Amino acid sequence: MVNRVPEPETLPTTLLTGFLGSGKTTLLRRALVSPELADTAVIINEIGEIAIDHYLVDFVEGSVLELPGGCLCCAVREDLARTLRSLIERRDAGEIRRFRRIVIETTGLADPAPILFTLGTDPMLDHRLRLAAVVTLVDAVQGAETLDRFAEAARQAALADALVITKTDLAPLGPDLVHRLDLINDRADRVLATDAPDAGAVLFGTGPRATAPVIPAEPIAAHTHGIDAFGIVLSGEVTRLDFARALGGLAGMRGNDLLRVKGIVRFADRPERPAVVQAAQHALFAPEWLDDWPPDWPEGDRRSRLVFVVHEVPRAEILEAFAFASPAMWHKG
């Protein structure tokens, strides 16, 4: 009898982003007081002093601190992949508290796409981490102006699975901000921070975090700062090799502008189980196999669907790459 080595635990990982002053640390502080998140590792991709809970922690490079609620926290100044690998290795060796999920809080000026790229290109991280969600905070007071002025803010919003609107106690969610978010990303869950008493659920309990990407009825968004979001449906047969060639070819030629791809694909060699696929820039994540099609999937429709968030990549170029599977733009109905 052969003793099989058990597969290592896969850790859901949420990327928490948002422009300067949008309230990321405030939301994180609220989440970390929840007992359900006591087994969370938090990575602060910042330099300097970061407020956690009611403490002001001055991080030293390489340190891992255990917070009063039981969570682990560390700061990364340079190499995110190295920090993540070290945390996982120390966790597995029993050197630090055994966490079950990870939150990465970015700087206010961060572009999330390279961070997603890091998670997908490092072999160890791709094997051990599962991208749970990109959660982007948007300030209700300055958000509309910020999205207009700063391309970084627009990219943060465009790549989000969930948009959390903060500071609505200071200003209502106005029509200008709603309109801009609709143009940039009408696919994401939208949550008012003041209406979300469970901040932990915001980070891990909505949108595509449970099983699969949310597939909108009409994934079409207008151009903002050169960003375009659209969906395609694949009616023809899709093999894993053809799919890898198509998406890998796009990543190779246009990786810097292929900000994010996500969807559900029915592969010809395994048609009984759909797979969640995700990519960011040059990185293709390993597929995640689902037990069944999502309950909100179109009745009787088992065609593959993909959502693209790109920067100045013509839609025709995407369709051409997937010509083998009879691609078509994905519109409502």
> What is the rounded distance in angstroms from the CA atom of residue 74 to the CA atom of residue 62?
7
> What is the rounded distance in angstroms from the CA atom of residue 220 to the CA atom of residue 299?
21
Strand partners, 17: 136
- Please report the pLDDT score of residue 228 as a whole number: 83
- Please report the pLDDT score of residue 89 as a whole number: 92
- Among candidate residues 111, 107, 177, 112, the one with its CA nearest the CA of residue 139: 177
Q: How far is CA 242 from the centre of its chain?
A: 25
- Please report the pLDDT score of residue 50 as a whole number: 38
- Please report the pLDDT score of residue 321 as a whole number: 96
Beta strand spans in 53-160 (E): 55-58, 64-66, 72-75, 101-105, 129-139
- Please report the pLDDT score of residue 326 as a whole number: 93
- Please report the pLDDT score of residue 35 as a whole number: 77
- Please report the pLDDT score of residue 267 as a whole number: 94
Task: Mention every residue, 6+ apart, whose C-beta is less than 8 A from residue 174.
Answer: 140, 144
Structural domains of the chain, ranges and CATH numbers in brackets? 11-209 (3.40.50.300), 221-329 (3.30.1220.10)
- Please report the pLDDT score of residue 65 as a whole number: 54
Phi and psi torsions of 163, nearest 5°: -105, 120
Strand partners, 277: 263
Mean pLDDT by 10 residues, the chain (333 residues): 61 90 81 79 61 33 52 64 88 89 85 86 90 92 88 91 89 90 88 73 54 45 69 92 93 86 89 86 83 78 88 92 91 52
Provide the Cα torsion 149, 155, 160, 165; round to 10°.
-10
> What is the rounded distance in angstroms from the CA atom of residue 327 to the CA atom of residue 222?
20
Note whether 45 and 104 are within 8 A (CB): yes
**Exposed, middle or buried: residue 53 (CB in 10 Å: 0-12, 13-18, 19+)?**
middle
